[in-house]
Structure 1
Amino acid sequence: MTAETTTTRLTARGAVTRERIVAAAADLMYVRGVGQTTLDDVLEASGVSKSQLYRHFANKDEVVRAVIERMGQHVIQREQNNLGRVSTMAGLRRWRDVLVQNNALRHGAYGCALGSFASEVADHDDVAREMLSALFAEWRDLLEAAVRRLQENGSLRSDAPVDELAIGLLAALQGGYLLAQTARDVAPMATSIDMALTHIESYSPS
């Protein structure tokens, strides 16, 4: 066995271990919250040793950042899939329906992963805050692109403030997630998004 083969095998094994740690931490932090999840909890859930964990992460902050990266990739990929071809108000309403229906399966209990993390870590971890800010900007850009396609195909007037409408829609979505989480009911989330969509629709040509 060559040194190169050994190194490759160890690297692959390390990647599997790291993924196991991050996956376990993501599940725990999403349900319990960042503050209520300890590294000991992550160790128990992942089944790795303390030395293995510290081989990949120096502290809890680094674990949290890895979880944000993982969750962020999932959310942005989902939104790219759901928003990528939206070019009508009907398409935006179908996007809304998917989000509300998916959250209804959890009775609104856990809210938006990115929003929940932002409320917990933004004040004490600048690196995590900047990661989350970039992810929200990417999400806003996807919404803005969808709204702009409505404008380009004539569904919205040329004076529609596309960037502001996208920010408002994202804010309504995040606020809706929070209300649903506290009420354990998706109805406030549905209402919040519907209000934003109605505002967007008010820019339809007469």
Structure 2
Amino acid sequence: MGLTRKGQATRERIVSAASRLMLEQGVARTTIEDIQNAAQVSPSQLYHYFPGKHALVLAVIDHQTGQVMDVQHQGLDQLDSFPALKSWRDLMVGILTKVQCAGGCPLGLLASDLAEADPVARVQLANAFAMWEGLLREGLEQMQERGELSKTADAEELALAMLAAVQGGLLLSQVRRDPKPLVTAVDTMIAHLRTLAA
């Protein structure tokens, strides 16, 4: 049975509050009480939607996956050329610069918190990264179809390398409070792709 509009709004408020707190202070340090207070719900309301903290953690991963993928779709749905690849890079750098390089990648933060401690969350995060990698791979395959990238290039391996470059670049940019690591990592991958141009 689906939730009422009011019920859906309450559930979203809980997940949004939990997401913010877990990214700011870590999953382990975020208590159910913290989330109740931030979402302004009673214990019974929270437990009506989530039987425990673990269910809430998985909902947070879903929420953050949606947020990240919405941004990635903006840049990668049109990926079929080197100019489109640069536009995607500029989109990410623009967002990073706007937040002054604070926060890093939400999926990366959750992965560093949960990958070793929670096997279910690790699989859910792996699936999220696979979706992102899939968008990159599809874009590179479009470039191959248009003749921008050699047919012999391995789009799957290149997509994985690009995603790894993005994640490493975001982490170093967060630590340094400087977008240069992300810019350098992605530009280096784009330069490599140009050597594979058809």
Instruction: Decide: shared fold, TM above 0.5.
Output: yes
Q: CA deviation at 1:11?
A: 3.8
The answer for the alignment partner of 2:120 in structure 1 is: 127
Rg (Cα) greater in structure? 1
The answer for the alignment partner of 2:170 in structure 1 is: 177
Alignment-mate amino acid for residue 118 of structure 1? A
The answer for the alignment partner of 1:67 in structure 2 is: 60
Distance 1:37 1:197 in 2: 39
Q: Secondary structure at the match of 1:146?
A: helix
Distance 1:15 1:157 in 2: 47
Q: Secondary structure at the match of 2:28?
A: coil
Distance 2:132 2:165 in 1: 13
Distance 2:59 2:194 in 1: 38
Give the paired residue count: 198
The answer for the alignment partner of 1:136 in structure 2 is: 129
Q: Percent identity?
A: 40
Distance 1:108 1:38 in 2: 27
Distance 1:180 1:56 in 2: 36
- The one of 184, 188, 195 equivalent to 2:188 is 195
The more displaced of 167-176 and 76-85 is 76-85
Q: CA deviation at 1:182?
A: 1.0
Deviations 1:135-194 (A, max 9, x none): 111111100011111111111112111111100000000001110111111111111111
Q: CA deviation at 1:67?
A: 0.7
Distance 1:82 1:31 in 2: 26
The answer for the alignment partner of 2:100 in structure 1 is: 107
The more displaced of 163-172 and 23-32 is 23-32
The answer for the alignment partner of 1:94 in structure 2 is: 87
- The one of 37, 41, 54 equivalent to 1:44 is 37
Q: Secondary structure at the match of 1:73?
A: helix
Q: Secondary structure at the match of 1:160?
A: coil
Q: CA deviation at 1:110?
A: 0.7
Unmatched segments (≥5 aa) in structure 2: none
Distance 2:24 2:180 in 1: 21
The answer for the alignment partner of 1:3 in structure 2 is: none
Q: Secondary structure at the match of 2:41?
A: coil
Alignment-mate amino acid for residue 184 of structure 1? R
Deviations 1:44-73 (A, max 9, x none): 111001121122222221111101101111
- The one of 175, 179, 184 equivalent to 1:186 is 179
Alignment-mate amino acid for residue 137 of structure 2? E
Alignment-mate amino acid for residue 65 of structure 2? G
Alignment-mate amino acid for residue 170 of structure 1? L
The answer for the alignment partner of 1:20 in structure 2 is: 13
Q: CA deviation at 1:104?
A: 1.0
* 1:163 equivalenced with 2:117 (yes/no): no
The answer for the alignment partner of 1:57 in structure 2 is: 50
Unmatched segments (≥5 aa) in structure 1: 1-6
Distance 1:11 1:149 in 2: 41
Q: Secondary structure at the match of 1:108?
A: coil
Alignment-mate amino acid for residue 38 of structure 1? T
